[in-house]
A and B are shown apart, each in its own frame.
Chain A
Amino acid sequence: MTVPATDLLLEATGVSKTYGAVIALKSASLAVRPGEVHALMGANGAGKSTLVKILTGAVRPDAGTIAVRGRERTVHSPGEARRGGIVSVYQEPALIPDLDIRSNLRLTETPVEPFRHWLRALGLEDLDLSSLARRVPLATLRIIDLARALAIEPDVLMLDEITAALPANLTERVLEVVGRQRGGDRSVIFISHRMIEIAAVCDRATVLREGESVGVVDVTEGSEERIVELMLGEIVGDLPARMADLAAPAARATGAVPRLAARALASATKLHDASFALYPGEVLGVVALEGQGQDELFNILAGSERPSGGELLVDGSPVSFHHPADAIRAGLVYVAADRAEALLMQRSVRENIALPFTTRMRRWGLIDLGEERKKVDDAIATLQIDTRAKGEVRRLSGGNQQKVTIARWIAGGVKTMLCFDPTRGIDIRTKHQIYLLLRDLAEAGAAVLLYTSELKEVQLVCDRAIVIFGGRVVAEIDAADADEATLLRAAYNLKADARMPEDLAAESVAAEAAAEPAQPVSDR
């Protein structure tokens, strides 16, 4: 950190930004040397995205200075930033869906030949430039985005979670290309939640916490611990202990009636034979690769899709759901990975939590406002929801939004909770709070079904796990035995002693990624 200011390629000091009452950035600083790959780290809501937006001119800071090669700059738009040598690849593709790739290049004045060169370097050989962007798979779009940015040869290239939607093989190529940028006079600012990637390509890391730069770490052997410590602040100490005693599976009374039992559930081509039992007081994990029928299973359980065969029993009696309201009435509530599916983004935290609860109350007439407020307040307190932006849910961070979707069911008193990858894209701290919450629910007698794409969550939260492959439940594993390797083997439907074919894994994930933004299972 004792580099003279003029040697820095990019320097941001004391940058702050508030949106109404919400402080997105308190005082962020970032110093990037020429030729380095610099990681920008921080939990969700720490202010990374805001800082990136400010650096690229998409958002104007309230205070602070930004200097490029020692000269102070103010940028007003992404176009201006690009001409000044700062280009960002955002989390969502920035290609215009209704224009073909060639027109998209023309829009950003990107030279075509360098673009093709970078495409090849990134492992995309035969791209038809006349295809509409909306017809190109998400993973490919991310690569196009990156190649386009590289072709402009910016001084500073910002990559915001570039690998999040990529299958393993493409991730490798991207990291390779990013790594090769080191040592020149250009720099890369690299944002990722994956520690392995940071260790692989980054020289230094700046850590943000709650809108402030809390430290700069040289990325070397063992620096991960330090980064996590900085990211989490003081909370990190007491969590592992708590998690440890969670791993003990709750004793299940033999002969108890399952809260929810599925017998040979089937749905068109995706789900063939899903049978399992979920008991009160337990968290049952569901593990599957992308697209093995888990989406259909959860849709059926939540009442938004009808099964084509099989039977569903709640508390021992058969049910059939025609509408999500039927499922909710039977005590089955659904928490989706995509918060936008569940929340009224323009409404307040209070209204969002009270929504399912008041629709139930209305049947007896007026809403009991006092009672409602009490239950909502309890739920907010239990979940430690950050309510600074309570007026409109869309202004909350992703983690807090997810807590709101869970809180609404807690407020109503939950019997069975169906969670579909509830921690996707959420920072570690909030993840841990959600784990604790699910455990607390189970201890209070509720039944929780948890599909997760993060295999290590199974041992952290679940009592046992079922594995779905090709639309069938192929295995049931106790949490004690459910280490990541075992689960992954089961998810690929391999015998415990069979060797894991790594390339098969990459292929399968790649195929899924074409259809959906997959979380590559193989590199966790």
Chain B
Amino acid sequence: MSAATDTVGGVRSRPADAVAAWARRNSWTIGLLAFLILLLVFTKVIQPRYGVPGIQGLAISVLPLALAAVAQAIVVISGGIDLSIGSMMALTSVVAAALMEGQSGEFAVAVVVGVLLLGLVVGAVNGGLVVVTRVPDIVVTLAMSFVWAGCALLVLKTPGGRAADWLKDLIAGSLGSEWFPRAAIALVVIVAVIWIPLRRSRLGLSLYAIGSNQLAAFRSGVSVGRTKILAYAFTGLFSAIAGLSLAASTGIGTPVPGPYTLMSVAAVVLGGVSLAGGRGGVFGPIIAVVILQLIRTDMTFLNVNTNLATVAQGFILIGVVMGGSLIQMRRARA
């Protein structure tokens, strides 16, 4: 039935119109991309030696946060928020590192599968609690962030364990041309394999629907509770992938949550996902993560005090989001 729907739509709109409509709908992401390119040019200008190693370093350092941003984007699109992403990442990374230590590569494959399932379950628990208890999502996930962080410390008291070599190799170095870091390719593949089919499915539609208008979604026949739980489960899944990437890039498991939760919220906002739900995608947040990271790098090149760089990052966030809404407001009036 969905195939028939697409054909009918295709007949009506000419390709040029379709491109224009697509560009209009993704204007924020396109704008971010343009900003990122400018920023790369700027980086090259202030630091002429910035090249392959810089790009590779950028890709590896960005990977965990980019995945965390995707995780956050999914739940925010569905109208919720998850403050336990950092803790879920810590938990999954220590579980993976602890189980992989001293084991064969084949066993590590089983561990990866297990950890992904763990992520799904942990996320579903978050979602289930939100739906069943009707306690606000922000409270439930904040509370659960303590629970998952505590569990992580039960698994490993201090940073330790060991990630399988093949897992580390997966994101180190580059593939084909040296300009294509493996970490970036891994990110693209993961998102393409999970997010794009999800986005096109009825479940994906339902995610946007409950985030946009819960009552209208309910009346359209969407099972709101089930969709919400699945949204949190997918957030858990991507948190687990982010945790694995953390273990892969550091080689060990770290039981203390990093700054990922709040950074993922920042990236989601900068990436054009409405905190009110229903609007945006995952590509904007990914680009936003790269931009935030690159700004930090540039600050180092410019010899700006790192603390000051953090301050600047905050103001940039407010400035960009405010500027973006001003542009949108003006366009709506025109």
Contacts and interface: CB of A to CB of B under 8 A. Distances in A.
A79 B218 CA distance: 8
A133 to B, nearest CB: 9
B121 interface: no
A78 B12 contact: no
A94 B8 contact: no
Contact of A107 (B4, B21, B211, B222): B222
A96 B212 contact: yes
A97 B220 contact: no
Interface in A93-137: 93-99, 102-109, 111-113, 128-130
Contacts, number: 85
A93 B212 CA distance: 13
Interface string A44-86: 0000000000001010000000000000000001110010000
A96 B209 contact: yes
Given A98-B211, A112-B4, A129 B9 contact: yes
Contact of B219 (A78, A109, A129, A130): A78
Given A79-B223, A107-B202, A98 B5 contact: no
Contact of A108 (B8, B220, B223, B279): B220
Interface size class of B (residues with CB under 8 A): 20 to 34
Contact of A109 (B1, B223, B278): B1
Nearest to B22: A130
Nearest to A53: B219
Interface in B46-96: none
A399 B223 CA distance: 32
Contacts of A96: 208-209, 212-213, 216-217, 220, 278
Interface residues of A, number: 30
Nearest to B4: A112
Contacts of B117: none
B206 interface: yes
Given A78-B221, A107-B205, A130-B21, A98 B8 contact: no
A106 B202 contact: yes
Contacts of B278: 96-98
Contact of B279 (A98, A104, A107, A130): A98
Nearest to B2: A106
A310 B93 CA distance: 70
A435 interface: no
Interface string A466-509: 00000000000000000000000000000000000000000000
Contact of A112 (B8, B209, B213, B219): B8
Interface string B213-235: 10111111111000000000000
A92 B217 CA distance: 12
B9 A102 contact: yes
Given A98-B278, A102-B5, A78 B205 contact: no
Contacts of B222: 79, 107
A90 interface: yes
A94 B222 CA distance: 12
B103 interface: no
Interface of B: 1-2, 4-5, 8-9, 12-13, 18, 21, 202, 205-206, 208-209, 211-213, 215-223, 278-279
Interface of A: 56, 58, 77-79, 82, 88, 90, 92-99, 102-109, 111-113, 128-130
17 contacts: A77-B218, A90-B219, A94-B215, A94-B216, A94-B219, A96-B212, A96-B216, A97-B216, A103-B205, A106-B202, A107-B202, A107-B220, A109-B1, A111-B4, A112-B5, A129-B8, A130-B9
